[in-house]
Amino acid sequence: MEKKFNFELNNEEKRSLLERFVRYCKINTRSSDTSDTFPSTKEQWDLLHLLKKELEELGLEEITLDEKGYLFATLPSTKGYENAPVIGFLAHVDTYPGTSAENVSPKIIENYNGKPIKIDGSDLVIDYEDSPSLPKMIGHTIVTTNGKTLLGADDKAGIASIMEMLCFFKNHPEIPYGKIKVAFTPDEETGRGADFFDVKKFGAEAAYTVDGSLLGEIETETFCGDSVTVEVIGYDIHPGLAKNKMKNAVRAAADFITRLPEENLPETTEKRESYLHPIAMSGEVGKVIVKFIVRAFTVGELKEREEDIKKVAEETKKDWPGITFNITIEEGYRNMKEVLDQYPKVVNLAKEAVRLSSVEPFEGYIRGGTDGCRLSFMGLPTPNIFNGALSYHGVKEHISLEWLAKSCETLRHLVKLWAEEKSIK
């Protein structure tokens, strides 16, 4: 009979998990989407160096932190399980560029009463509209911000979950497990987190990002994403000589923007609906550049939104004689479901690990992309596992310690499940 192990976190382990999470959150690792360095901010190195030190103290092997900010480490298998599939776990160190991460001051609420949360020292309230899951967290320990910064649970909750999982297996060598690879990466929030990721060096056969949200969710789909650049070309001349000569690209571009289909914007779409999104406009009378991101769950619908941009450009051009439009489309990423459907075991074992944690699993989708999406197409199938955090990227970000603990418990079960497998297919 197979020996049973208790993977549920005890009170001491939960305290350690909470202290670890808060410790990481206090480090400002805000990334920058305007920087030309990689990592995009020097502050990300602060957490990377701390994690490297903690991995060394834990006794992991093959620890490397390269010049691009990728931190890799290995937990060798237990004796007799050297041939089990090599599984990886990943989380990103950076936080969202758009919200302050300076002097993060986590607030801990014990034995939560289920009512809207008034954030001390601010006028902010986290209510049921912000977080419909609040009634499910009665009695939990909740961690919030102080209302001035984000919390950083995206993705320091994932880092804490992975680190506590590693501690567990280092402290319990009697539990069989295969070789475990971990990676902590920079600049996920800027969309560049996998730009320099060396899949071969990492050495895993399949992996999981711990960057999801809701309890029990395994995310297996992402948007397909492209970037579109529209150049609006006019003709500039001294305004005193402009009559019947000037072709004002600024005015034409403004008209172009107002003609975009209202039903296909981020502000008017949800769930599986696609969108086109003008994110930046710059230039002058002679030339204006409008940048878009385009998102859809299928390539076909992605191309439809791109055709919308072309159509609007043609319609605008007719009403602005002398103005021309140049459109460039740059392929970004594709729905990782295309890859994960070839590896059903990678997803099914994650679901089973959730069930073993006494939680009902469900498959979700992301209205965006993840490092795992790009890694999947780079040869490393990588679905996304929940970490329990909510209201990412804003000053109302919060997390349930109990949900975070269930994330860590899920990782423990997942490692044990993979130890009994012979391949990832």
Given a cut of 50, whether residue 1 has pLDDT beyond it is no
Given a cut of 90, whether residue 191 has pLDDT beyond it is no
- Of the chain, the percentage scoring pLDDT greater than 70 comes to 99
| Residue 228 structure tokens | 């579109």
Given a cut of 80, whether residue 294 has pLDDT beyond it is yes
Query: CA-CA distance, 220 to 242, in Å (whole number)?
Result: 56
Q: Mean pLDDT for the chain?
A: 95
> 172: phi > 0 → left, psi -120 to 50 → alpha, else beta; which?
beta
Q: Using alpha carbons, select from 413, 411, 383 the residue that is nearest to residue 219.
A: 383
pLDDT, one tens digit per residue, over 149-184 is 999 999 999 999 999 999 999 999 999 999 999 999
Confidence of residue 264 (pLDDT cuts 50, 70, 90): very high
Q: State whether residue 72 is helix, strand or coil.
A: strand
| Residue 418 structure tokens | 């993979």
Q: Which amino acid is at 56?
A: E
CB proximity list for 318: less than 8 A, separation 6 or greater: none
DSSP letters, 335-377, are -THHHHTT-HHHHHHHHHHHHHTT---EEEEESS--HHHHHHH
What integer pLDDT is reported at residue 18 of this predicted model?
A: 98
Which helix (H) or strand (E) element contains residue 258? helix 249-258
Mean pLDDT of 108-112: 95
Q: Is 352 a catalytic residue?
A: no
DSSP letters, 378-398, are TT----EEE--EESTTSTT-E
Confidence of residue 250 (pLDDT cuts 50, 70, 90): very high
Mean pLDDT of 82-88: 97
Mean pLDDT of 187-209: 95
Mean pLDDT of 305-316: 98
For residue 200, what are the CA distances in angstroms to 181, 196, 203, 209, 375?
12, 12, 5, 17, 11
Query: CA-CA distance, 215 to 212, in Å (whole number)?
Result: 9
Q: Is 94 a catalytic residue?
A: yes
What integer pLDDT is reported at residue 3 of this predicted model?
A: 65
What integer pLDDT is reported at residue 5 of this predicted model?
A: 84
pLDDT, one tens digit per residue, over 42-77 is 999 999 999 999 999 999 999 999 999 999 999 999
Question: Which of 154, 155, 188, 205 is the catalytic position?
Answer: 188
What integer pLDDT is reported at residue 130 of this predicted model?
A: 85
Given a cut of 80, whether residue 362 has pLDDT beyond it is yes
Domains of the chain: 11-222+335-419 (3.40.630.10), 224-333 (3.30.70.360)
pTM (two decimals)? 0.90
Query: CA-CA distance, 27 to 181, in Å (whole number)?
Result: 24
DSSP 266: G
What integer pLDDT is reported at residue 73 of this predicted model?
A: 98
In this structure, the chain runs to a length of: 425
What integer pLDDT is reported at residue 182 of this predicted model?
A: 98
What integer pLDDT is reported at residue 119 of this predicted model?
A: 87
Mean pLDDT of 231-260: 97
Given a cut of 80, whether residue 4 has pLDDT beyond it is no
Given a cut of 90, whether residue 300 has pLDDT beyond it is yes
For residue 272, what are the CA distances in angstroms to 55, 266, 269, 296?
40, 12, 8, 8
Q: Using alpha carbons, select from 136, 193, 208 the residue that is nearest to residue 403.
A: 136
